[in-house]
Structure 1
Amino acid sequence: MRIHKECFHCAKALTGRTDKKFCDSHCKSAYQYKKEKESPERFYNKVDNQLKLNRKILKEFNKGGKVTIRAKVLIELGFNPKFFTHYWKNQKGEVYLFVYEYGFLKKNENGKEKYVLVTWQEYMN
């Protein structure tokens, strides 16, 4: 086992136990925070953050229960249609992707990509 003579965070000389790594709890906390900030974001966090952002955007644009909007508008705000929680297929065979209670269906109208936004309904169970 390697013995450290100075604090990992502030490099101040250490006194006390031979296996001590930090001079106090503040330095230990600051070191852990810095280390976490430098490490790449975990996959779970990326997915969770994207789902939260998608839900927020869908909620913001779908106040009435059903609306059609250009895909470009949502994409520019950070919406990513690859991140969704579940899907529902209607009788026509169209597949609505959902982010929790807010759903979207990709459509092409007059050469423009659009999304039909809906909210989850009981009959969709």
Structure 2
Amino acid sequence: MTKQTQKNNGSDTGYRKCEVCGLSFEGRSDKRFCSDACRNANKRQVQRISGWQEPAFVEKIHRMLRHNRQILKERLAGESKLIISKTDLIEAGFHFGYCTSIFSKEINIYRFCYEYGWLEVENGKILLVKNDRHTEL
């Protein structure tokens, strides 16, 4: 038995130790981790060590988009269209400057956060819409 094989198997019984948590497990001879969670933890650790990290502004924008989407989803609550006040969205922490796509229809400009969108109408009102076609890839 080679040193590499002994390291992977841990013993002659076919069991190996997970490289992350140290638990024994059975599986393919080249399997290094006991679960997907340990495999992902190892990948994150390698990325941290190698210095790879998403720029802070990318993560901040992603959080804002998810937050906007959640607010729109909660307000629509299963409806396909709804008119609410702009103040309601502002008080909920909605960021009007962040959207994933823009759709123009005649003079109206809809802005979308994934499948949820909004259109500014008169008198401080906002039309909320849901468009499932945005989720079809």
Asked if these proteins are the same fold (TM beyond 0.5), I'd say: yes
* Number of residues of Structure 1 aligned to a counterpart in Structure 2: 81
AA partner of residue 83 (structure 2):
T
Q: 2:126 aligns with which of 115, 119, 124?
A: 115
Shift, 1:120, TM fit: 1.1
Runs of 5+ consecutive residues of structure 2 not aligned to the other structure: 1-44, 49-54
Normalized per residue, which structure has more helix? 2
C-alpha distance in 1 between matches for 2:85 and 2:91: 11
AA partner of residue 99 (structure 1):
C
AA partner of residue 122 (structure 2):
N
C-alpha distance in 2 between matches for 1:61 and 1:96: 17
Matched, 1:47 2:65: no
TM-score scaled by length of structure 1: 0.59
Show the counterpart of 1:64: 79
C-alpha distance in 2 between matches for 1:55 and 1:115: 15
C-alpha distance in 2 between matches for 1:96 and 1:68: 14
1:83 match: secondary structure? coil
Shift, 1:65, TM fit: 0.4
Structure 1 stretches of 4+ with a deviation exceeding 6 A read none
Deviation per CA, 1:50-70, whole angstroms, max 9, x where unpaired?
000000000011121000000
AA partner of residue 103 (structure 1):
G
Show the counterpart of 2:88: 73
Deviation per CA, 1:38-93, whole angstroms, max 9, x where unpaired?
xxx81011100000000000001112100000011111111011000001112x32
1:46 match: secondary structure? helix
CA RMSD of aligned residues (A): 2.2
AA partner of residue 74 (structure 1):
L
